[in-house]
Chains A and B, each alone.
Chain A
Amino acid sequence: MTVTDPSTSRDSAAAPRAGGAAASIRLEHATFSYGGAPSLADVTASIPAGEAVALIGPNGSGKSTLLKGIMGLVPLVSGSLSVLGTSPRQALRRVGYMPQTDDLDPNFPVTLRQVVMMGRYRQIGWGRRPGKEDRRAVAAALERVGLADEASRKFGDLSGGQQQRGILARALTVDPAILLLDEPFNGLDRTNRDALLTTLNELREQGVTVVTSTHDLELAREVCSTVMLLNRRVVACGPIETTLTLEKVERTFEGVGVEIDSHTVTTLPHGHGHEHTREHG
């Protein structure tokens, strides 16, 4: 198993925001489980601040598990995990998370502005109304994802891509040091995709650590410097140029029919129908 070596990845010196700690996220032999067989076993990696890591693997390979594990939402059954130099739950207020938007109810009566404000709810706390600073943070986040003009529209009336950018804006309202994205590019058109790419690259330049699961290898190359190939364990992990190779990707998707961006990887055997169905959480 390859391990990210902080000294070889680029940008490792860029604006460390984790209270002086070099690694923004550090996993040592970390194994995550919802109670049964481990969803993801024996992960060792050190992700420096400002690094962008793409998680690639078939469905049920543990990509979402790792993202949720970093937030302390999946039990760590062995090994260790530190986020921003502390425990995942402690670090959570500096972690932005962008879940998939497919499950959201399009008829839910909220405006985009309200959805983005949800990112501030935790800080606002009980019995107080959102203040000036909260409204400013919401406006800035909307500006950043290019949706300032849509703020008053009903969330469900926005296009899928706009909804995803809205959820990203929600994640940005906490001024995150780490941004976790779950399949952010699923079903996006070109415009929304480019807008999202630009935002992510800007955030990286500011030293935000980005971890994203994706089926989209083009995205992995455009935003990420490091890739982690997962299949319930780490198949390979390292700089994208040397790790995202055909041989290693094939090994990751071994025996699983998964569609991958065809112009990047063209020689995967076609698996008609037979999907890996170990779904969880």
Chain B
Amino acid sequence: MFPSFPEIVQILSLPFMTRSLVTVVVLAVAGALIGVFVNLRNLEFISDGLAHSVFPGLVVGYVVAGTDGVFLGALIAALVASVLLTVVSRRGVGSDAGIAVVLASMFSIGIVIVSRQSGYVSQLEDLLFGRLLTVTDSQVRQIVVVGVIATLLVVATWRAQLFRAFDPQGFRAAGYRELPYDVVLNVAVALVVVAGSQAIGNLLVLALLIVPVAVARLITTHVAWVAPVAAVVSVLCGGVGLLVGYQASVVGGVSPSPSAVVVLVMIVVYLLVLVAYVLGRQVRLWRLSRPAAGPGLTERAEGRSDAQGRSAA
């Protein structure tokens, strides 16, 4: 079922597969680097808000200028939404409610506009779930440019973003102002959403920002390794997802959304790593509890071996 290495090279050399691969790699690396701070600052929800807010931009762009307008529309929406959401989320009290209101209203506006078009179901599908295997050369160029800009925004402010994420009070006391860094980060997130919307899909692109970093944080605790590990995980999952999607349509005769396959591969990897992590921790705790169990470990020790449980108690 699964192709050999030369076959893989051959498949990926097909022009449309090469374009898809470049797209996935660029988005995977950008998503992993920017996702580090989405993860460390728990910005998953605001990122979701940004993704939903880009949606009406996609739709309006499409309605006004067809496929060519999608990108520009998304870009404008992203910049407006990232500034708006930065301000809303800084209001502190009830910021989740604020984000949720923005998210729901923007998405509804997008749906209302797109539903006035004829044949809107398939258009809606394209915008939401992407067309990874049919990205054009000009789309690839757009994705690379926007992805690189988004990455540079975060890389250039990396240390400040790290400080901001770790200790906001100390950050302010060191003379930094938070707002510009928050805007930069949210713009970077929005740009990744823009870059990924047409290929991966407006909603699924969020997974590239969130899942690989979650995997990396289970694998390593050193911040210098989180980003590279996340990028490698993301690129590998993207490549495997593409191949699985290709095989499924060519060999299997079913055509799943390839970007959904990419995301599912990531989720599977996440679950496997999570299980390994939890098991590893249990084993370490159990080993620790054997010589002299602390009070908190007694129960677990009893569960495994009566003798040890008793000696611990």
A residues neighboring B (CB under 8 Å): 68, 71, 73, 89, 92-93, 95, 97, 99, 103-105, 107-111, 114-115, 118-119, 121-122, 124, 126-127, 154, 167, 170, 180
Decide: A121 and B163 in contact? CB cutoff 8 A.
yes
Q: Residue B217 contacts which of A109, A121, A154, A167 (CB distance < 8 angstroms)?
A: A109
Contacts of A92 in B (CB 8 A): 173-175
CB distance from B288 to the nearest CB of A (A): 15
CB-CB nearest in chain A for B157: A126
Contacts of B223 in A (CB 8 A): 108-110, 114
Q: Residue A170 contacts which of B156, B170, B226 (CB distance < 8 angstroms)?
A: B170
Decide: A154 and B175 in contact? CB cutoff 8 A.
no
Contacts of B169 in A (CB 8 A): 97, 99, 103
**Contact of B16 with A by CB under 8 A:** no
Main secondary structure, interface of B, reads: helix
Decide: A108 and B170 in contact? CB cutoff 8 A.
no
Complex: A79 Cα to B165 Cα, angstroms:
34
Decide: A99 and B170 in contact? CB cutoff 8 A.
yes
Q: A73, A93, A107, A118: which has the most chain B beta carbons within 10 Å? A: A118
Decide: B174 and A118 in contact? CB cutoff 8 A.
yes
With contacts defined as CB atoms under 8 Å apart, how many contacts are there between chain A and chain B in the complex? 69
CB distance from B164 to the nearest CB of A (A): 10
**Contact of B166 with A by CB under 8 A:** yes
CB-CB nearest in chain A for B163: A118
Decide: A124 and B173 in contact? CB cutoff 8 A.
no
Contacts of A121 in B (CB 8 A): 159-160, 163, 174
Q: Given A93-B175, A121-B160, answer yes or no on A109-B170 (Cβ-Cβ < 8 Å).
A: no
Decide: A111 and B222 in contact? CB cutoff 8 A.
yes
**Contact of B162 with A by CB under 8 A:** yes
Interface positions, chain B 272-290, Cβ under 8 Å from A, are: none
Complex: A271 Cα to B220 Cα, angstroms:
48
Complex: A105 Cα to B220 Cα, angstroms:
16
Complex: A212 Cα to B221 Cα, angstroms:
33
CB distance from B168 to the nearest CB of A (A): 8
CB-CB nearest in chain B for A124: B159
CB-CB nearest in chain B for A154: B221
Contacts of A180 in B (CB 8 A): 173
**Contact of B107 with A by CB under 8 A:** no
Ranked nearest first, the 7 interchain pairs of A and B with the lowest CB-CB distance are: A97-B173, A99-B169, A109-B223, A92-B175, A118-B163, A121-B159, A122-B174
B211-230 interface bits toward A, Cβ cutoff 8 Å, 1 = contact, 0 = none: 00000010011110010000
Decide: A73 and B160 in contact? CB cutoff 8 A.
no
Decide: A110 and B162 in contact? CB cutoff 8 A.
yes
Complex: A110 Cα to B159 Cα, angstroms:
12
Q: A93, A110, A115: which has the most chain B beta carbons within 10 Å? A: A110
Decide: A126 and B156 in contact? CB cutoff 8 A.
yes
